[in-house]
Amino acid sequence: MKTTTRVLLTALMCTAAVACSKKVKEAPPATDTGPSTGTMTDGAPPVAGAYGPNDLDTDACLRQRVVYFDLDQDALRPEFQAAMACHAKYLRDRPSSRLTLEGNADERGSREYNLGLGERRGNAVSSALQANGGSGGQVSVTSYGEERPACTSSGEDCWAQNRRVEIVYTAK
Amino acid sequence: MNRTAPWLAAPRLLLALCLSLLMPLVAQAQQQGLEIDIVGGNASALPIAVVPMPYQGSASAPETDVARVIREDLARSGQFRGLPEQDMAERPTRGSEVNYPTWRALRQDFLVVGRVVDAGGGAFRVEYELFDVAKQERMLGFAMTGGASAMRDVAHQISDAIYEKVLGVRGAFWTRVAYVTATGTGQNSRYALMVADADGYSPQTVVRSNLPLLSPSWSPDGRRLAYVSFEHNNNSAIYIQDLNTGARERVASFRGINSAPSFSPDGRRLALTLSRSGNPEIYVMDIASKALTQITNQFGIDTEPTWSADGSTIYFTSDRGGRPQIYQASASGGGATRVTFQGNYNASASVSYDDKKVAVAQGSGNVYRIALLDRSLGTPRWSTLSPGSLDESPSFAPNASMVLYAAREGSRGVLYAVSADGRVRQRLVLANGDVREPSWGPYREQR
């Protein structure tokens, strides 16, 4: 129950953040960005509202880097659509950025099967990012199965936290 | 005969050196042996008295209590019930000292007596005899020689001989098991792939890592282990490691999952799971050439391949029908047929040497237990071997008399060895941290 509430709250915040980001976002100052400023040199002037690397730490939607799943499921829950949209937008805005989707499962059942399940969840997030306009070339998927639990006690509260995909930016 | 297992000796130094270069060494917690206790009992077990075997030589006695090791081996099998030492009214050490009425009065079916003597060069000889109390007959009379450090190995081989003489089935006490230990959480997680005697003694570290290790698989000659490690680019990869030399080779590190290795019975091929096509499929790799043959091609997770004893068939887990179930296919590819129909979750098959029994992790709701499918009688028969709620990774002993599996107690993992009739369980616990991913090794050969 607690988890559901938390997730819903987060989802609401995300939606709000996405709504806001349109008007608030500015192109980051040129001095801020690292050596490769792919977005800036595409010819076009920086589009108003384009994400920059700092937004990964400050933007409420982009800061959501964990996607949770139901038992034995790899279907993306609706509340994560907003997060998919903003991460996909980040990938579009920053073509040099790269991320790894780390798929995880809870401890029940076979470790090897859970490795497959973790990958399936990673692929589901990858598909959602691409459906939102992210490029497949920027995304890679790794499965840890049940080997990297976020929570180590046995029980649904804990299991729900472990059925997840973590979005890890390997290049901002 | 004189066999101190060679992989325990000098090459270990080299192995340790190589490993310390690879990964930071962990505290000795993972060197600790497994603590053992026996749970449950079997009323129909055969009563056997294994009389203490005193040292009758002139040097200092070996540390190992040979008779005790034999007694514990036989008890763990579930097939025998050992007479407690304090109930032994007499302590014969050779056949001429045996009074059958004494042992009949104690209601013993079998009697084992023996003694340890000097064999020269610091070695010991264990001379032992097995008697049928009712028939008043000697069934076995042998001697085995070994160094002081090999006395447990000698005792296990004596257990094997007694087991086979009485039951007509080869004993599997002189075998080893592989397993993974885990300590710490998050950034402080440490993993070790271990090999120990089947009773948990003499644990040795094969490899350590800060990243997960899983799915050890023995080569049929017991000299190599295949396993999965995440140390290469933080992704799963399959390694084959020689236990004698410590030398290892990364044999599969494709994009996606590289996992679930299983040696073929001839040791030349490795069945494995790769998701390089975008979906986990079963492949067979020719180890020498690394050439791959794809066995499955199906939307769904296909994983955990394991071989039939003759190498013709591969059993595996697949959720092609919705939930995970065990299927079988020809080792050269082609269609698959479903093996398990009871239970809505069946995974991690281990197949007995005669292909008649399949042990699985069977799930129902939040409860996962080890279940045994017996196909020796026409209609398949199921039995449940474990009472836990998160039991997994069954692994048959080479003679199929016992099944080793992993269980959770609280938040830690422990191992159990359960007799194939489910009546006697032995618990193997690491003092500190998790034990998991057990794999029972093959019979050992005297060298």
Burial B227-250 (b: 16+ CB within 10 A, else e): bbbbbeeebbbbbbbbbbebebee
Chain A contacts to B (CB-CB under 8 A): 72, 107-113, 115-117, 119-120, 123, 141-144, 147-148, 152-154
Contact status of B275 with chain A (Cβ, < 8 Å): yes
Q: Is A112's CB within 8 Å of B368's CB?
A: no
> How far is residue A159's CA from residue A71's CA, in Å, rounded to a whole number?
9
Contact status of B51 with chain A (Cβ, < 8 Å): no
- The total number of structural domains in chain B stands at 2
Q: How many CB pairs under 8 A join A and B?
A: 83
CATH number at residue B132: 3.40.50.10070
Q: Which residue of B has its CA nearest to A154?
A: B411
**Final residue before a domain boundary, out of B122, B152, B167:** B167
Pairing of strands B302-307, B224-232: unpaired
Mutate to test the interface with A, among B301, B315, B344, B350 (most CBs of A within 10 A): B301
The answer for residues whose C-beta is within 8 angstroms of residue B141's C-beta and 6 or more apart is B95, B128, B129, B130
- A133–chain B nearest CA distance, Å: 20
Q: Cβ(B230)–Cβ(B212) under 8 Å?
A: yes
When pLDDT is cut at 50, 70 and 90, the band that residue A86 belongs to is very high
Number of C-beta neighbours around residue B309 at 10 A: 13
Which residues are bridge partners to B358 per DSSP? B351, B373
Contact status of B388 with chain A (Cβ, < 8 Å): no
Q: Cβ(B400)–Cβ(B387) under 8 Å?
A: no
Q: Cβ(B180)–Cβ(B216) under 8 Å?
A: yes
- B443–chain A nearest CA distance, Å: 26
DSSP A140-165: EEEEEETSS-S--SSSHHHHHHHSEE
Residue B73, Cβ density class (10 Å: 0-12 exposed, 13-18 middle, ≥19 buried): buried
The answer for residues whose C-beta is within 8 angstroms of residue B427's C-beta and 6 or more apart is B36, B37, B38, B39, B414, B415, B416
HEC states along A28-91?
A: CCHHHCCCCCCCCCCCCCCCCCCCCCCHHHHCCCCCCCEEECCCCCCCCCHHHHHHHHHHHHHH
Looking at this predicted complex, what is its ipTM? 0.88
Q: Does B139 share its domain with B265? A: no
Number of C-beta neighbours around residue B377 at 10 A: 8
Q: Which residue of A has its CA nearest to B274?
A: A116
Q: Which of B278, B347, B436 minimises the CB distance to A113?
A: B347
Q: What pTM, to 2 d.p., does this model score? A: 0.85
B445 lies in some domain: no
Mutate to test the interface with A, among B392, B393, B434, B437 (most CBs of A within 10 A): B392
Q: Does B127 share its domain with B234? A: no
Q: Which residue of B has its CA nearest to A115?
A: B257
In the prediction, which pLDDT does B76 show? 85
- B266–chain A nearest CA distance, Å: 24
B447 lies in some domain: no
When pLDDT is cut at 50, 70 and 90, the band that residue A29 belongs to is very low
Q: Is A109's CB within 8 Å of B368's CB?
A: yes
Q: Does B104 share its domain with B237? A: no
**Exposure on the CB side of residue A25, measured as CA atoms within 13 A:** 27
> How far is residue B154's CA from residue B160's CA, in Å, rounded to a whole number?
10
Q: Is A111's CB within 8 Å of B437's CB?
A: yes
B1 lies in some domain: no
Distance of CA B441 to the CA centre of its chain: 5
In the prediction, which pLDDT does B211 show? 95
Q: Does B246 share its domain with B391? A: yes
Contact status of B260 with chain A (Cβ, < 8 Å): yes
Kindly list the residues from chain A whose CB atom is less than 8 angstroms away from the CB atom of residue B436: 111
Q: Which two tokens stand for residue B321?
A: 């029908």
**Final residue before a domain boundary, out of B167, B195, B219:** B167
Q: For residue B78, what is the enclosing H or E element? A: none
Q: Is B317's CB within 8 Å of A110's CB?
A: yes
Q: Cβ(A86)–Cβ(A62) under 8 Å?
A: yes
Q: Does B380 share its domain with B290? A: yes
Q: Cβ(B324)–Cβ(B288) under 8 Å?
A: no
Which segments of chain B have a pLDDT < 50?
1-31
Handedness of CA A2, A149, B262, B422 (dihedral sign): negative
> How far is residue A131's CA from residue B286's CA, in Å, rounded to a whole number?
39
B446 lies in some domain: no
B127 lies in some domain: yes
The answer for residues whose C-beta is within 8 angstroms of residue B425's C-beta and 6 or more apart is B38, B39, B40, B386, B416, B417, B418, B419
- Cα angle: B30, vertex B236, B223; to 5 degrees: 60
Q: Which residue of B has its CA nearest to A114?
A: B301
Number of C-beta neighbours around residue B88 at 10 A: 18
CATH number at residue B182: 2.120.10.30
Q: Is A112's CB within 8 Å of B347's CB?
A: yes
In the prediction, which pLDDT does B431 show? 66
In the prediction, which pLDDT does B176 show? 96
Q: Does B248 share its domain with B305? A: yes
B413 lies in some domain: yes
Q: Does B329 share its domain with B197? A: yes
Q: Which amino acid is at A132?
A: N
Name the phi and psi angles at A56, rounded to 5.
-60, -30
Q: Does B28 share its domain with B58? A: no
Mean pLDDT over A99-122 rounds to 96
Q: For residue B269, what is the enclosing H or E element? A: strand B269-274
B160 lies in some domain: yes
In the prediction, which pLDDT does A121 show? 97
Q: Does B218 share its domain with B109? A: no
Contact status of B361 with chain A (Cβ, < 8 Å): yes
Structural domain harbouring B124: 44-167
Q: Does B127 share its domain with B269? A: no
Domains of chain A: 2-26+48-171 (3.30.1330.60)
**Final residue before a domain boundary, out of B167, B197, B220:** B167
Backbone conformation region of residue B75, classed left if phi is above 0, alpha if psi is from -120 to 50, else beta: alpha
Q: Does B125 share its domain with B185? A: no
The answer for residues whose C-beta is within 8 angstroms of residue B139's C-beta and 6 or more apart is B110, B130, B131, B132, B165, B166
Q: Does B199 share its domain with B303? A: yes
Contact status of B214 with chain A (Cβ, < 8 Å): yes
